[in-house]
Amino acid sequence: MTLPLGPDELLSTTRSVRKRLDLDRPVPLDLVRESLEVALQAPSGGNSQGWHWMVVTDPGLRAGIGEHYARSFASYRRSSVYAGNAAGHSAERQAVQSRVATSADYLAEVMGRVPVHVIACIAAGEELPRGNQAGLWGSLLPAAWSFQIAARARGLGSAWTTLHLRYEKEIAALLGIPPHVRQGVLLPTAYYTGETFKPAKREPLDQVLHLDRW
């Protein structure tokens, strides 16, 4: 059963859930499977369906992923990219960025204890294409986002993160992912606490919309 959410509400309330992930409530694997069944309905280039889905519930493996994640997050936290996320914005946006940062700190602390880790992967070859890889990732990432949306409709929250990719090889070794299969996103998944979600505050569309010409 899914929650009775209309299209816009569904898409606007599938938020990045970090602090509201319920670390103690077990997640039935069936809900993850159902969400993945829906995810497989997303498009892929030439209908290639080259995706693979790692679903990790083993506590030791999750702890291992969590350690790599925390180490990568610590580097990110010290980086200029991180500082840039907060800089040069309006006071209102800075307040948002500050909340995102606190929430991300928390996720890094608890990652290993989130009940389910879903890692979306794609058969891509050991050497990724040079230049623009949007073609490759466009055959996986829509499905990963569909997973999050379908999960949200089942009362499950998740957060999109790629910080684990700093240790992509180590995590591949931990889980036995073969070298030609590359990881696209880590989705820690759990029941969310609280009733529902509000849409996010975003910068206005007209700042990023270009009609006919830039």
136-155 binders of a second copy (CB under 8 A): 137-138, 141-142, 144-146, 149-150, 153
Specify whether the CB–CB gap between 24 and 114 falls below 8 A: no
Q: Are 100 and 76 in contact (CB under 8 A)?
A: no
Nearer to a second copy, 6 or 24 (CB): 6
Residues 170, 69 contacting (CB under 8 angstroms):
no
Instruction: Output 178 or 194, the one with its CB closest to a second copy.
Output: 178
Q: Which of 30, 80, 87, 211 binds a second copy (CB under 8 A)?
A: 211
The strand pair at 51-56 and 181-191 is best described as unpaired
**CB neighbourhood size of 3 (10 A):** 12
CB count in 10 Å sphere of residue 35: 24
User: 3-class SS at 110?
Assistant: helix
CB 146 → a second copy: shortest distance, Å? 5
- Count of residues near a second copy by CB under 8 A: 88
Site for a second copy in 103-142 (CB under 8 A): 104, 128, 130-135, 137-138, 141-142
Q: Which of residues 11-70 bind a second copy (CB under 8 A)?
A: 11-12, 14-16, 29, 33, 36-43, 45-49, 51-58, 61
Q: How far is the CB of 5 from a second copy (least distance, A)?
A: 6
Report 154-173 residues binding a second copy (CB under 8 A).
159-160, 162-163, 165, 168
Q: Which stretch binds a second copy (CB under 8 A): 19-27, 63-71, 97-105, 106-114?
A: 97-105
| CA–CA dist 148, 156 (Å, integer) | 8
Tokens linked to 148: 């999050």
Q: Which of these ranges, 18-26, 63-71, 105-113, 181-189, lies near a second copy under the rule CB under 8 A?
A: 181-189
Q: Taking Cα atoms as reference points, which of 20, 200, 16 lies closest to residue 110? A: 20
